[in-house]
Structure 1
Amino acid sequence: MKSQPTVLFVRSTDQDRAAISFLRDSGLTVHEVKGVRDAEDALGDYDTDCVVTNCEVEKPDGTQYLGGLTVIERLRQTHPELPVVLFAEVTNGDIAREAYSRDVFGYVPETVDDALQQLLAQVDAAVASSPARQRASKRKQLNEAVRLVNQALVRSQSRMDIERDVTAVLAGTSRYTEACTVTCQHDRPVIRALGSQRGRVTITAPEPLLRAESAERLVVADIDPDAVGDETEALERDCVRVLAVPLVYDGVSYGVLAVYADRVDTFDTEEQDTFREVGHNIALAIDASQTKDALQQRTTELEHQKERLRELAQIISHELRNPLQAAMGRVELLAESTDAEEFDAIQRSHTRMSFLIDDLMEIARQGERQYTVEPVALSNVLSDAWNAIDTGTSTVEIDCPGTVLADRNRLCQLAENFFRLATDRCDGVRITVADTADGFRFEHAGRPLAGEGEGAFELNYGSTDEGAGLHLAVIREIARGHGWDISLGDGSSERVRLDVIGVEQPSAKADRSSD
């Protein structure tokens, strides 16, 4: 620990000897340099509490005029926490205003009678303010780094973009020397993104990064310069400390963010807490980007699947409908000249095949259909659906006096498909349709369907259950188009029941609108 404050005095060529001696005699450790370049080099060698500079000091180009202002400007960029006192040879209001605009701590003209006493007072005050300035500077730098990281997370679209942009932001700040993201493979960290965009580098101090990923906790470690040596490809070159932040979200690890610094006073408790949140945000952004990519891929796959289904339906319709129509025509000709009961069965089979083709095309087209929802009398639509199909000796009982919000044509198709399903599977079946609390239900006596739950509504081209798979698939697609739910098999084992749920009534929608 230092026994007394340390001052770096950037003096003019021929002046300031008396001021330097006075400060030393007052108990301060004073290191003197002659110009801007020497001052920048000395800051790396000394633990400085305050900088005093003359106006007339050497600039980097060798000129003398107002080099002190250049010192102040450089310090604000590289060491903003250091207080600077300007010791001017002449009293000049313009110089003073310029110095204060660059955040100079104090301004002391050499021409006043008690200039040395004023200089000592300014230096003492500057040294006293140094801890507070350091805390404020660190907080400002940290806030700026977090702001830039958050901006990078917002604009980045993929995991690679996120890692590349975040590490570039951190490596480009004045507080940190380097940053990278790594994943650990075979007990070795492998760099995914490097902030400085250098070429191939080697991680010569991998242990903190491995520990951070395996334990899923933040790790701070000092780097031994002797262990790194003079390797020009070492990531830890010119770095003395590393902060390893695990990137974990919802139990999934996305590797480690490693942040390097060339000062031993970095990564205190406050900074660690900040980076815990930063690591969480980075992992969250990566997870969100990958989820978005997965959803996009799934959407693309579904679009391709939908297109293949549409093409398949068109092929089936084209390849089957023409020969089917020809066969139906030939059967009609034969039936006119021959009195055989078998022709009736053949005609029924042909009719059923035609309906199956229509149903398949309806499923393929449902995604393209636009639904026009309006109040419709449910009993009227159900009656129209019943009259539209060949029901044979089957009967229907409709107990649905209410009005619902639906697309009339699509609702009619839904009912037709259930009626066909029932009459195809059973001769002389009695079907009942009744209102429920949030929709309506179809029901008829007969053996249960083969499928259960959602599986019953999936397309099943190999079904031997009288084409039930196609009928139920059409029903599901029409219900989905309305935003309704459907369930199957809620009755006894000797009955088939289909519930349509979530059906809105005009009065209910009006009540919600008024609320």
Structure 2
Amino acid sequence: MKPQPTVLFVRSPSQDRAAISMLRDSGLTVHEFDGVRGLECALGDYDTDCVVTNCEVENPDGTQYLGGLTLLDRLRRSHPELPVVLFAEVTNGDIAREAYSRDVFGYVPSTVNDAHQRLLAQVDAAVASSPARQRANKRKQLNEAVRLVNQALVRSQSRMDIERDVTAVLAGTDRYSDACTVTCQHDRPVVRALGSQRDSVTITAPEPLRRAESEDRLVVADLDPAALGDDTDALETDCVRVLAVPLVYDGTSYGVLGVYADRVDIFDTEEQDTFREVGHNIALAIDASQTKDALRQRTTELEQQKERLRELAQIISHELRNPLQAAMGRVELLATEHAAEEFDAIQRSHTRMSFLIDNLMQIARQGGRQYTVEPVALSDVMADAWTTVDTDRSTIEIDCTETVLADSSRLCQLAENFFRFATEQGNTGTITITDTSGGFALEHDGPPLEVGNEGPFELYYASTDEGVGLHLAVIREIAHGHGWEITLSNESTGRVRLDIADVQRPSANGR
């Protein structure tokens, strides 16, 4: 405990020494300095409670003009917790306003009758406020450090960016000397990022970092500069204390954050609690960045897989179409020379195979482009789709009036595939399209489906004896591409109903 408060007094050449003697007589320890440079060089040698300066003291460049205000500016940047009292030789309102704008603690004109009593009162008040100012300054510095760390976490994209940016902003603050992130390999910390960005560094005191990771708790330790010797690469150079913060999120360790300081009165309970939260946020950001990296990699792999499937579908389509077209041409030629019912069956099979190839290509292309969603009239799309399908003796009733948000070309493909699917089940009957509360429904009063183990929406569901039915698989892909839900009702009486739900409608403002 200090026996008495310490005051550093920066005097001018013409300053009456009576003020300094009066402060000493009042029980204060007073050290005198001739200018700004002299005080700054000695600040680290004293546990200072207050600074008193004359207005006309020597500036760092040797001039005498308003050196006290210069000192105020420099102390606010380097030691904002120190209270400063300006003891001016003249009463000047402009100087007083300038001083208070620089956060001077007190302003005392030396020319008034009770100048010494006023000065002593201001110094006593400054000394009494010093602990509170130091606490406020610590909180300000902590808040600024947390703000800078959070900004780094927001802008950083990868784990390496996070660790590099966080350590850089901490090392760049006035409160800390350096910062690093490490992972322990074979019980030896390995530096991943270093705030001071030196080319090479060694950790002379690894134990606090190792304990923080192995025990999953904050560790505060004092460092002995004498133990460094001549090791100029030591991380702990000019540092006397370290705070080791484990970086853990959801049970996964991402190493340790080491924060170094060149003073021993640091890393109290409040500061440790703050860094415990900072460590959690850093680990959370690292975990999120790695999750995003994994998702991006998985997305890339899926896109590559889709592209390979599309290429395969194109190859299969090309290889099937050539012999199919040749076979169809030969059948047409033979049919003109020989009237046989078998030719009609062969032609139907060829037509069926052509439909299958078209549908396979539709399925392969579903992931090939983005859906362009816009308001479309459901009745118009259904009518357009009906004109493109050979519906034979079936009829259609379009009993829908809603406008929905959809990709019109994809919605048309969905309708075409249902119409073909329905007419393949039975070439007579009525197809009805109606609005529902969640979207719309397509219904056919043809024969019931014979659903196998795979289910009607699976790719290789056999809907007829003629081959493999792909229409419902295409419908499923288009519906899911819009984010819609589909269900198929298959009544024994012969009605087949396809319900499309979760369909969005335009809002009042048009979207």
Normalised by the shorter chain, which TM-score bucket? Answer: 0.7 to 0.9
Q: Distance in 1 between matches of 2:372 and 2:126?
A: 75
Unaligned runs of 5+ in 1: none
Q: Distance in 2 between matches of 1:412 and 1:72?
A: 77
1:122 aligns with 2:125: no
Deviations, residues 243-269 of structure 1 (Å, cap 9, x unaligned): 333334444443333322222222233
Letter in 1 for 2:86: L
Q: Distance in 1 between matches of 2:340 and 2:114?
A: 133
What corresponds to 2:328 in structure 1? 328
Deviation of 1:368 after TM superposition, in Å, equals 5.6
Deviation of 1:181 after TM superposition, in Å, equals 2.6
What corresponds to 1:28 in structure 2? 28
Deviations, residues 298-317 of structure 1 (Å, cap 9, x unaligned): 44444444444444444433
Deviation of 1:237 after TM superposition, in Å, equals 1.6
Q: Distance in 2 between matches of 1:28 and 1:501?
A: 87
Q: Distance in 2 between matches of 1:351 and 1:369?
A: 30
Q: Distance in 1 between matches of 2:314 and 2:401?
A: 36
Change in 2 beyond 3 A, CA 1:60/1:322: same
Deviation of 1:358 after TM superposition, in Å, equals 0.7
Change in 2 beyond 3 A, CA 1:452/1:190: farther
SS at match of 1:373: strand
Letter in 1 for 2:186: H
Unaligned runs of 5+ in 2: none
Q: Return the match for 2:390 from 388, 391, 412.
A: 388
Change in 2 beyond 3 A, CA 1:286/1:154: same
Change in 2 beyond 3 A, CA 1:492/1:188: farther
Q: Distance in 2 between matches of 1:227 and 1:458?
A: 73
1:376 aligns with 2:388: no
With normalisation by structure 2, the TM-score equals 0.79
Question: Residues 170 and 179 of structure 1 are in contact (CA less than 8 Å); yes or no, is this contact kept in structure 2?
Answer: yes
SS at match of 1:129: helix
With normalisation by structure 1, the TM-score equals 0.78
Deviation of 1:50 after TM superposition, in Å, equals 1.0
Deviation of 1:131 after TM superposition, in Å, equals 1.5
Q: How does 1:271-420 map to 2 (within 5 A)?
A: 271-338=271-338, 343-366=343-366, 367=369, 370=372, 373-376=376-379, 388=390, 413-414=413-414, 417=417
Question: Residues 449 and 490 of structure 2 are in contact (CA less than 8 Å); yes or no, is this contact kept in structure 1?
Answer: no
Question: Residues 5 and 28 of structure 2 are in contact (CA less than 8 Å); yes or no, is this contact kept in structure 1?
Answer: yes
What corresponds to 2:484 in structure 1? 484
SS at match of 1:43: helix
Question: Residues 246 and 255 of structure 2 are in contact (CA less than 8 Å); yes or no, is this contact kept in structure 1?
Answer: yes
Deviation of 1:80 after TM superposition, in Å, equals 0.5
SS at match of 1:329: helix
Deviations, residues 211-269 of structure 1 (Å, cap 9, x unaligned): 33344444333333344445221222222222333334444443333322222222233
Change in 2 beyond 3 A, CA 1:40/1:410: closer
SS at match of 2:210: helix
Q: Distance in 2 between matches of 1:202 and 1:283?
A: 24
Question: Residues 246 and 279 of structure 2 are in contact (CA less than 8 Å); yes or no, is this contact kept in structure 1?
Answer: yes
What corresponds to 1:176 in structure 2? 176
Q: Distance in 2 between matches of 1:370 and 1:25?
A: 86
Q: Distance in 2 between matches of 1:83 and 1:511?
A: 62
Letter in 1 for 2:189: P
Q: How does 1:82-97 map to 2 (within 5 A)?
A: 82-97=82-97
| Number of residue-to-residue matches in the alignment | 498
What corresponds to 1:209 in structure 2? 209
What corresponds to 1:502 in structure 2? 501
Letter in 1 for 2:479: A
Q: How does 1:407-446 map to 2 (within 5 A)?
A: 413-414=413-414, 417=417, 440=441
Instruction: State which drifts further: 178-187 or 119-128.
Output: 178-187
Instruction: State which drifts further: 350-359 or 6-15.
Output: 6-15
Letter in 1 for 2:175: R
Question: Residues 156 and 165 of structure 1 are in contact (CA less than 8 Å); yes or no, is this contact kept in structure 2?
Answer: yes
> Percent identity at matched positions?
72
Change in 2 beyond 3 A, CA 1:496/1:279: farther
Question: Residues 377 and 404 of structure 1 are in contact (CA less than 8 Å); yes or no, is this contact kept in structure 2?
Answer: no
SS at match of 2:255: strand
Change in 2 beyond 3 A, CA 1:105/1:404: closer
Change in 2 beyond 3 A, CA 1:5/1:317: same
What corresponds to 1:138 in structure 2? 138
Q: Distance in 2 between matches of 1:496 and 1:315?
A: 38
Question: Residues 57 and 68 of structure 1 are in contact (CA less than 8 Å); yes or no, is this contact kept in structure 2?
Answer: yes
Letter in 2 for 1:388: D
Change in 2 beyond 3 A, CA 1:101/1:33: same
1:154 aligns with 2:157: no
Change in 2 beyond 3 A, CA 1:389/1:227: farther
SS at match of 1:231: coil
SS at match of 1:162: helix
